Amino acid sequence: MKSMVGRVPGRLLLLAALVVVSSACRVEATVTVEVSEDGSGTVAVAVELDAAAVDALGGFDDRVRVDDLEAAGWDVVGPTTDGWGVGRMSAAKRFDSPGRLAGVLAEVAGPTAFRDVSLVRERSFARTTWRLTGIVDVSEGLDLLADPALSEVLDGLPFARTEAELALLVGCGETPCDVADSFSLVLVATMPTTRIDDGSGAEGMVDRWTVTLGDRSPTLFHAT
């Protein structure tokens, strides 16, 4: 079966967008930034599809090409489907210095979704703090995740469907609605100063922001 996803390396969230436009399912994707004490860290992207979404895609395991992601330095797990029909895929990539974080985030959803990203170290008496700031801007809606190469051969339609057809697929019916409202993006930041050891080995007090694709107002994020 011909791969639907992975034609543009780095647009990992295209998978979730394809689920939205292929069914009436609501999809949530999580992007996690974990910063280490030395300012290096990891960006991880996780997408989970319920059985209905997997069925709408006509299967999951053979629908995602990962070789281009791996070639770009992403550590990919999946895609897999469990015994209950739930599909999962995750990808993670390290950044070796604070200045490289913005570039890795740009690989996730293009150059405009995460902008003005800054990771800086602040020192005070007997304490060092890392400060992460930036803007999540998903005002482009589904166009943010559309595959330009695929759109070019589909009469300019990024998902091979008109806006009216997409609206019908996600259950808008006669009521006007924004297809992008079916897709939520969660940004999670775990900073060295926010990790708490409660004896269980678990880490807590992470910062989290949730945005809906197509939100007109950019979301500022800040974590220390």
Give the max Cα distance, the chain: 62
pLDDT at position 9: 37
Q: List per-block mean pLDDT (blocks of 10 residues) for the chain, which spans 224 residues.
A: 40 53 64 94 87 72 74 85 85 95 89 92 81 92 58 42 57 56 84 60 71 85 94
pLDDT at position 216: 82
Give φ, ψ of 152 to 5 degrees. -60, -30
pLDDT at position 163: 58
pLDDT at position 49: 75
Q: In angstroms, what CA-CA distances link 85 with 24, 63, 67, 147?
A: 17, 15, 24, 27
Dihedral, 91, 109, 149, 77 alpha carbons, nearest 10: 10
CA–CA distance, 52 with 84 (Å, rounded to integer): 11
The whole model's pTM is what?
A: 0.76
Amino acid at 88: R
Q: Of 7, 6, 20, which is closest to residue 152 (Cα–Cα)?
A: 7
CA–CA distance, 142 with 159 (Å, rounded to integer): 9
pLDDT at position 5: 42
pLDDT at position 156: 43
Tens digits of per-residue pLDDT, 121-149?
988 777 778 999 999 998 877 666 655 54
